[in-house]
Amino acid sequence: QKEVEQDPGPLSVPEGAIVSLNCTYSNSAFQYFMWYRQYSRKGPELLMYTYSSGNKEDGRFTAQVDKSSKYISLFIRDSQPSDSATYLCAMSGLTGGSYIPTFGRGTSLIVHP
């Protein structure tokens, strides 16, 4: 079993839909939870990060962390075609004096007009 599990998709939704992206994990030592967006043939771009459990909102994006269930989510409201990308979840805990994120394999999102 991988430390971080993420459905690769693709997930195809119409413009304006609410998108839900999810990851599960097995390492209870993870403290920080991140979501990255990666456009084709580009490097990952940090969207949001949260510490421990709870919700965090930034514009159309909401990140949720449920440490008791080892489950994290990213919601995208009013999705746009420009949101079409691969979304990577990542999580980290303090190891050897630094934080090294472990990534999921990414979910491919397609928002069609």
Q: Which residues are at the interface with another protein (CB under 8 A)?
A: 4, 6, 8, 31-32, 34, 36, 41-46, 49, 51, 88, 90, 92, 95-106
Residue with Cβ nearer another protein (62 or 102): 102
Residue type for 75, please?
Answer: F
Neighbours of 19 (CB within 10 A): 19
CB of 80 to another protein, least distance (A): 23
40: which 2 tokens? 């084709």
Q: Give whichever of 49 and 61 is closer to another protein, judged by the CB atom.
A: 49
Q: What length is written for the chain?
A: 113
**Structure token pair of residue 103:** 């990534």
